[in-house]
Structure 1
Amino acid sequence: MHSNMLKALGGAALMMAALAWPAKAETTLSFSDNSANRGSRAEAMNWFADELAKRTNGELKLEIHWGQALLKGPAVAKGVGDGVADMGLVIAVYNPALNPVMLLADLPLENNDPWAATRALYELNTTHPALQSEWDNLNLKFVTTMSTGPLQMVCNDKVIDSVDDFAGVKMRGISTYSKVAQDLGANMVSVTAYETYQALDTGLIDCAIFYTYAIPAFKLPEVATDLTTLDWGALMGIAIVMNQDTWSALSPEHQAVIEQLGSEFVDVISEKVIVEKDTTLDTLKKEGAFKFHEFPAEERQKLLAAGAKYFDEWKETVTKAGIDGEAVLQHYQDLLAKWHERRKAQGYPWEG
């Protein structure tokens, strides 16, 4: 009887220990996002979060803090590096001194197909020592990147349909595009994407250079009257990054999942940007949200010519930091050509 009791107690103890000891621990990664949870980029981020949980059987989860609730946009690079958040969205132009090489992606290149350009930048970040060192210095692991797609001009009671029309206009710009607009005579006002609605509404600015898919997401039709399709370059100095210590603590299997998702994310966000550029403009036209204006091809070439000097300026900046700017730029342009040729030969991956 005594023996049977011991066996019963031992069995109960083993069962309780098994119940108290989870088979595999769950880890929730905090993610600092700059925008609200709407629009195609937010949809792509939610896809990333869903797939991360699915492919790790719930062992890794992403908790996204939207609308700068965890870290302000300019604080993300340092904040994630310091461990305030596990992951986050870094916009290079917010910290040019921290991300000088990545700012190459914001130069106004003519080859701005969102998928090909994003693939080229993804490959540059994952293979080139200059960019890998830049992320290492910030204690960050590069995960993936994206393109906003071509930039447009949204105005309130102004029409911009030539380079001469920039003169005297109070304007919100983006990265290098702000410098070009200022060279053309615009009065640049420091306004973030998140402040653009109020700035247009109050008259602080007359116009804003903005990416297509975000125009309705930021509700700009409520405070603007005119839209000019510039199709000018793209904002691409954007990266999803992870704290290097968080990355190192993950299992090799989980690291492989994140790297695979980072690559697939390029296709997911690029498809949304490409498809939604046309559908967004079509919808805005049907809704009568703006008076639409076309920016003539010859004027667009003038825009590109006006931005050419900033390639030299970027090279000088990174060369002072001991980086061969000419070599990095040439490598990026070679990658752009490679991925543009791939697109021409095989189409987009979601079309096959």
Structure 2
Amino acid sequence: MIRTLISTAVLSLAITTTVSAATELRFAEPSPNRGARADAVIHFMEDVTKLSNGDLTFDMHWGGALLDYKSVANGVAVGTADLGTMLAAYDPQKLRSLTIGDLPTKYSDPWVGMRAMYELMTTNEDMERLLAELNFVYLTGYSSTGVQFECAGDNKIRTVADVEGKRIRAVGNYAKILDDLGANLVNLNQGDAYQAYDTGLIDCGASYFYTMRAFKTFEVADNYTIANWGQLLGFATLMNLDVWNDLSQEQQAVLQKAGSSAINYFAKLQIEEMALVVDGLRTGDIGKKANVYEMAEEDRTLLAEAGEKYIQEWIDRANKDGVDGQKIWDEYTAMLAKYQNELDTLGYPWER
């Protein structure tokens, strides 16, 4: 009887220990649970749980139910959530290190951009330290895909000169550059663009092929220009550093592996979606036929030149933060070139 009681107690203790060893992470996701990026977030969580054999799970809060984009940075930093998805454009002062990804470059491919940003934020000691000072660690990143021009009615932007006088919706440094080029900027969320086109509040928008079906702007826009003008990469899931440090090395490795895998997964979804949208606009299969132009290389060069002063501004701010801004910028652009070369020579990882 004594042996039986002891065995039962040991078994109960083992079960209790197994249950208590599982770690549930509170995840704040400001976006709703729909679309390609939501699929990528779900893929990340499922990957983490699978790779950890159920040792890591998530308490997920979608659509800003716990923290929205304006509050998520502070909320994760103080522990309201263990991790959360953040857009540097909503808190550029706090997330200054992430804003390097929002600077316009000639690289618009989402896989190239996300891979370069992931490598920079997880291997560059200065960038890791800047995040650590905010109590963050970088897990995975996202891309808006390349910036394109979308216009309603007879409006069109085929050249840089066409920007002047247009009422344009844009965000971040892209809005600043278009303002410099003579646009009349209109401050609107992406979700309000449809009605703004329909009512004539805006003529054009700096948009993304990957989001057009989700917001159905093709129903009210008529002219598109493929500019492939940089992308927004200051878009990431960050984790509370104190929570990270409490995890085992094995758990940390799982999160890192899943974060890297999620980038390939999301890039594939985006690239497939962009191809469907461009083809659908040209043929009308998307629901409405539209004019699709391609911006000339000389105009793309002018856009790049117009953004150079904002690159220098980022470098100067980084220097004030105690790091070598030029060195970090050079390292980042070298990573972009490296992944672009890999893409050009080997293709996408899922195609090899």
Q: Residue in 1 aligned with 2:33?
A: 37
Q: Residue in 2 aligned with 1:325?
A: 325
Counterparts of 1:1-352 in structure 2, within 5 Å, are 22-157=18-153, 158-285=155-282, 286-297=285-296, 298-352=298-352
- The answer as to whether partners of 1:38 and 1:217 remain within 8 angstroms in 2 is no
Distance 1:14 1:107, change over 3 A: closer
Query: Which amino acid in 2 is paired with 1:228?
Result: T
Greater radius of gyration (CA): 1
Rounded Cα–Cα distance in structure 1 between residues aligned with 2:98 and 2:7? 60
- Structure 1: runs of 5 or more not aligned: none
Name the SS for the 2:260 alignment partner: helix
Distance 1:176 1:7, change over 3 A: closer
Rounded Cα–Cα distance in structure 1 between residues aligned with 2:270 and 2:292? 21
Rounded Cα–Cα distance in structure 2 between residues aligned with 1:314 and 1:170? 27
- Structure 2: runs of 5 or more not aligned: none
CA offset at residue 307 of structure 1? Answer: 1.8
- The answer as to whether partners of 1:81 and 1:139 remain within 8 angstroms in 2 is yes
Deviation sequence 1:103-143 (CA, Å, 0-9, x none): 22112111333222222211111121221122112111111
Rounded Cα–Cα distance in structure 1 between residues aligned with 2:305 and 2:3? 85
Q: Which moved more, 1:67-76 or 1:132-141?
A: 67-76
Rounded Cα–Cα distance in structure 2 between residues aligned with 1:225 and 1:344? 32
Q: Which moved more, 1:164-173 or 1:61-70?
A: 61-70
Query: Which amino acid in 1 is paired with 2:340?
Result: H
TM-score, length of structure 2 as denominator length: 0.89
Identical columns (%): 38
Name the SS for the 1:111 alignment partner: coil
Name the SS for the 1:188 alignment partner: strand
Q: Which moved more, 1:254-263 or 1:272-281?
A: 272-281
Rounded Cα–Cα distance in structure 1 between residues aligned with 2:9 and 2:317? 66
CA offset at residue 81 of structure 1? Answer: 0.8
CA RMSD, Structure 1 to Structure 2 (Å): 2.4
TM-score, length of structure 1 as denominator length: 0.89
Distance 1:12 1:57, change over 3 A: closer
